[in-house]
Chains A and B, each alone.
Chain A
Amino acid sequence: KAGVTQTPRYLIKTRGQQVTLSCSPISGHRSVSWYQQTPGQGLQFLFEYFSETQRNKGNFPGRFSGRQFSNSRSEMNVSTLELGDSALYLCASSLETSGGSDTQYFGPGTRLTVL
């Protein structure tokens, strides 16, 4: 079974631009979560989607948004990019059948550099 895939793997943008990152979960997984990883702040939760609805959100500004499609694929968007948005963005998917905390499986990440 294919793992979580993320595109693109690398991205370079300039301040003020916007960016869209894509995530395809493991087949059959219904929940998709996004995390930001930086050297200073570590791994931080951005948001979680299930059945096309945002179910949980971390403490990030409104410039960070996301969505999930009916096939469970997800995208996240960052508008008006700032230098501090440079990070590795990780997507994770989980099966979610019985509630509780199913294991999240992570993709390889998208490394975003903002110049």
Chain B
Amino acid sequence: AQKVTQAQTEISVVEKEDVTLDCVYETRDTTYYLFWYKQPPSGELVFLIRRNSFDEQNEISGRYSWNFQKSTSSFNFTITASQVVDSAVYFCALSEGGYGGSQGNLIFGKGTKLSVKP
């Protein structure tokens, strides 16, 4: 069965600290997709990144970076030099299925609430 685990329920850091949000997933499929979303207090889920199971390259986007390791079934997210505006709940999600598979079934972790204090 598919499952996404975000073991860190809440993290609090001081501005400019680096912080890593952990995500561990379970799936039997060889083709799958992993996502990170940010949910600020307004409630809307904001898309951050999508990776497919065949692309283990790490990715960096500004202060954000992602480390995908199939060997440990992990897809961790690091924010460098955190800012107050990074305060939000962050969700890791998994979607299975290859070509022609259904699009809709995102399996979400429980989320990690990040608080960045000035």
Interface residues of A (CB under 8 A from B): 31, 33, 35, 42-45, 47-48, 50, 55-56, 58, 88, 90, 92, 94, 96, 98-109, 111
* Chain B positions within 8 Å of A107 at CB level: 44
| B interface residues (Cβ-Cβ under 8 A, vs A) | 31-33, 35, 37, 42-47, 50, 52, 91, 93, 95-111
Residue of B32, B105, B110 touching A58 (CB-CB under 8 A): B105
CA distance A99 to B93 in the complex (A): 18
CB nearest neighbor in A for B111 = A42
Question: Which residue of A is nearest B97, CB measured?
Answer: A101
Tally the A-B contacts, defined by beta carbons under 8 Å. 85
Nearest 3 CB-CB pairings of A with B: A48-B104, A106-B45, A33-B104
**B interface majority secondary structure:** loop
A95 → B minimal CB distance (Å): 9
Residue of A nearest to B96 (CB): A101
**Which residues of A are found within 8 Å of B103, using beta-carbon distances?**
31, 33, 48, 50, 55-56, 94, 96, 101-102, 104
A115 to chain B, nearest CB (A): 20
B31 to chain A, nearest CB (A): 8
B105 and A48 contact, CB distance less than 8 A:
yes
The smallest C-beta distance from B86 to any residue of chain A, in angstroms, reads: 19
Contact between A45 and B99, CB atoms less than 8 A apart: no
B104, A106: Cβ atoms closer than 8 Å: no
- Roughly how many angstroms separate A33 CA and B33 CA in the complex, as a whole number? 17
Query: Do A108 and B47 form a contact, CB below 8 Å, given A42-B110, A100-B52, A100-B101?
Result: no
Q: Is the CB of B105 within 8 A of A45?
A: yes
Of B35, B46, B96, B103, most buried by chain A (CB within 10 Å of CB) is B103
Q: Which of A96, A104, A111 has the most CB of B within 10 A?
A: A104
Residues B106 and A100 in contact, CB atoms below 8 Å apart: no
Residue among B31, B97, B98, B106 having the largest count of chain A Cβ atoms under 10 Å: B106
Chain A residues lying within 8 Å of B32, measured Cβ to Cβ, are 101
Within 8 Å by CB of B98, from A56, A100, A103, A105, lies A100
CB distance from B51 to the nearest CB of A (A): 10
B108 touches A103 (CB 8 A): no
CA distance A33 to B103 in the complex (A): 8
